[in-house]
Every structure is written in structure tokens, then in C-alpha cells.
Structure 1
Amino acid sequence: MSDDNQASPEAIEALRARFQAQSRRAQAYYTVMHRAREVTGSDEAANTWMNAPLPALDGKTPAQLVNDGREEDVLQYIDGLQSGS
């Protein structure tokens, strides 16, 4: 590989950071989907729920909140559903 084709340390670090952020979001989405399946009873129902705007979440979808890094808000909402709060 010639020097012209090598990525700079800054570019490699930027890629690493982007990969880590994407991995974190994917793990968060998986965690929320797993909990949503417990409540809704199926993958299809959980997927529909994840993409439905909810008044209790300021009209946002659970998927939007997860993408914004707010998966804990969604998990707390699910906890409330499970406990009947």
C-alpha cells in the first residue's frame, strides 16, 4: 500500500468513533425491541409499536428516541406499562 492510500490517524479515529456510536445505537435498539416484544407479544407488534408516535413520548416514536440516545426514557416507559403505572 502506498503512502497516498493510507488513512490518516485522524480519519481512522473518526471512523472508529462513528462505528462505536452505530454499535451503541444498534445495541440500544435491540434492548428496547426485546423489551417491547415482552409487552406486545410478537416481533411484528413490537416493530409497529417502535414506529408509532406516542403522546407519552412527546409525539415521538420509540425508535426516534433510541436513535437520539434516549433509550432509557423508552425503557422507563415500558417499565410503566408492565407495572400498570
Structure 2
Amino acid sequence: WLFQRLECPYCGTKDQNALAYFADDEGLYRLYVCEQCHTYIKAIDLRHTESEVLLQLERVMTLDLDRQGQEKGYQPGYSRISSRVIPQSEGS
């Protein structure tokens, strides 16, 4: 979905000191985190794969990232996704 790369898709913070990411050893999977709302979103860096992305499979393949994020105090932000709508003009 559409969100600005340097903005939390859940709380909308643009404070660069509050935004970070962790990557797996291969650099394929990333966990983008927000210190403001303590949420995360998982991402796949498509530059590191030529395989078809199957989201249901990727959810299973990234369970360790979920565990790592939650151990660091972050929660998946998907439950908050409907709480903030980014106007099209902001996301362009």
C-alpha cells in the first residue's frame, strides 16, 4: 500500500530519530520500527530476490522477525492501519 518511506505508516511521525529498521542476515527481510508508537511493519527488499513473493508464505518465513521485534518492545502495527488515512496528495 502507499505510504511515505520516511514516515511511520501507523502514527504518521516524520521524526527521523524515531524511525529505524532491522534487516535479516541476507538483507531480504526488514522490520521497520517506530519509537513514537512502538509498532513495526515487515518489508521485503525485492532487489534481493528473483522469486515470486507469496505473502502467506512470507508471513511464516518472517516469524523470527516478529519475535525479535516483539522482544524489543515493538508490536505489529496492522491493527492500527485503519486509524490514519494518508491523503493522496501527501503520499505522492
TM-score, normalization: structure 1? 0.29
Structure with the higher helix share, 1 or 2: 1
State the structure with bigger RCO (CA 8 A, min sep 6), 1 or 2.
2
The structure with more strand, counted as a fraction of residues: 2
TM-score norm. by structure 2 comes to: 0.28
